[in-house]
Amino acid sequence: MRLPKLNRRVVKGLDLRTLLTALTGEGASGDRIVPPTGFTAHLTLFAAGAMAFLAVFALALSLATGRLADRWSESLAQTVTVRVSAPAGQVEPQTEAVMQILRGTPGVGEPHLLTQDQMADLLTPWFGPDVPVDALPVPRLIELPIADARDFDAEGLRLRLEGEVPGAVLDDHTEWRRPLVTAANRLQVLGILSLMLIAAASAAMITLAAKAALAANGQVIRVLRLIGARDITIATAFVRRFTRRAALGAGVGTLLGLLAVIALPDLDDSSQFLTGLGFQGWSWLWALLIPLVAAGVGFLATRWAALSMLGQVR
């Protein structure tokens, strides 16, 4: 008879290496000490998949609202508008006076007086394509591009216009831009909060599944402890299995979520709020992190559940 000698090599610890080996499929022979349990396996796969699917949308919402806030902030801050309202005979001279003032204002580009056609285009959404702009008491609008925000003094320009051209009003869009940006930023926070809640709910469900698996495998644990298995060894087998299930479920859920995002209606550029609900450029890579995060959540949740339950068994 030839008996193998006891190898005193330290058994693998339950650390990040365990997480990596779970994802790469190493250590499969050690994992076999845990019997495949259908109920908990399906629960973990389904929970991870569903949560990843939701996480894709929460992430898309968060990224989209972030982009929206940035876009509104940037595009609206790049121009100001001067509106000239005056009695019929005063419109042209006051408009010319405003143009003179704007051309001499530091930090701005060339002012642009909107033509009748451009005014008609602006009014079309409200009055239809046949709007008689000439017949309406529409104020003159001047777009003023901001060339250098550091040199441009909006408040100084507003006071000067009030003093020199009483019918001219400077609109730097702050009044309606700020609540929009605030709303977009809050939506972004809600998106991030949703992601955190999804991660917490995933952790709770995986913990429950892991505890159910541990409870259902009391005999396995007793046998393993009898032959000298350390808590960490038993826990590692459970952790690897649940980590892999969480990653697999989340991978499928993420894929389905991405397909659903891709399948969203492609609206035209004028409805940028809806068209922005998706991933653009490198932001697609953020979605690929979801399965990894799910694996990490599964790893930590199962680790905690396994070690706390095993600690109660001699």
Partner 1 sequence: MQDAGFGYHGGAPLLSGMTLSLQPGSFHFLTGPSGAGKTTFMRLCYADLLPTAGRMSALGQDMRGLTRDGIAALRRKVGVVHQDPQFLDHLPVAENVALPLTIAGQAVDMAAMRDLLGWVGLAQQARAMPDSLSGGERQRVALARAVILSPDLVLADEPTGNLDWDMSMRLMQLLIELNKSGKTVMVATHDLNLIRATKAQVAARVLRIAGGELHLAGADL
Exactly one of 15, 25, 35, 42 binds partner 1 (CB under 8 A); which one? 35
Residue 273: which H helix or E strand, with range? helix 272-275
| Distance in Å, CB of 9 to partner 1, minimum | 6
- How many degrees, rounded to 5, is the angle at CA 183 between CA 66 and CA 55? 50
Candidates 25, 36, 93, 166; binder of partner 1 (CB under 8 A) is 36
Number of helical (H) and strand (E) elements in the chain, helices listed first: 11, 4
Q: Which of residues 237 and 287 has its CB atom nearest to partner 1 in the complex?
A: 237
Residues whose CB falls within 8 Å of the CB of residue 201, separated by 6 or more in sequence, listed in order? 51
- Residue 30 has a CB neighbour count (10 Å cut-off) of 16
Nearer to partner 1, 36 or 156 (CB): 36
Shortest separation between residue 6's beta carbon and partner 1, angstroms: 5
Q: Which residues contact 148 (CB under 8 A, 6 or more apart)?
A: 106, 107
Sketch the per residue contact string, 181 through 220, with partner 1: x for CB under 8 A, - otherwise: --------------------------------------xx
Burial class of residue 51 in the structure, from the number of CB atoms within 10 Å of its CB (0-12 exposed, 13-18 middle, 19+ buried) = buried
Q: Which of 224, 247, 290, 306 binds partner 1 (CB under 8 A)?
A: 224
**Which window, 1-9, 42-50, 94-102, 204-212, contacts partner 1 (CB under 8 A)?**
1-9
| 25 is a contact residue toward partner 1 (CB under 8 A) | no
Q: Output 37 or 118, the one with its CB closest to partner 1.
A: 37
**Which one of the spans 45-53, 62-70, 136-144, 227-235 is the region binding partner 1 (CB under 8 A)?**
227-235
Under 8 Å between Cβ of 225 and 313? yes
Q: How many residues bind partner 1 (CB under 8 A)?
A: 33
Order of all β-strands in the sheet with 112-113: 112-113, 140-145, 79-84, 168-171
- Candidate list 26, 121, 143, 231; residue touching partner 1; CB under 8 A: 231
Tokens of 176: 């309606």
Q: Does 263 bind partner 1 (CB under 8 A)?
A: no
DSSP helix/strand/coil, 1: coil
What is the nearest approach in angstroms of partner 1 to the Cβ of residue 18?
12
- For 189, the 3-state DSSP assignment is helix
Q: Which residues bind partner 1 (CB under 8 A)?
A: 1-7, 9, 11-12, 29-30, 32-33, 35-36, 219-220, 222-234, 311, 314
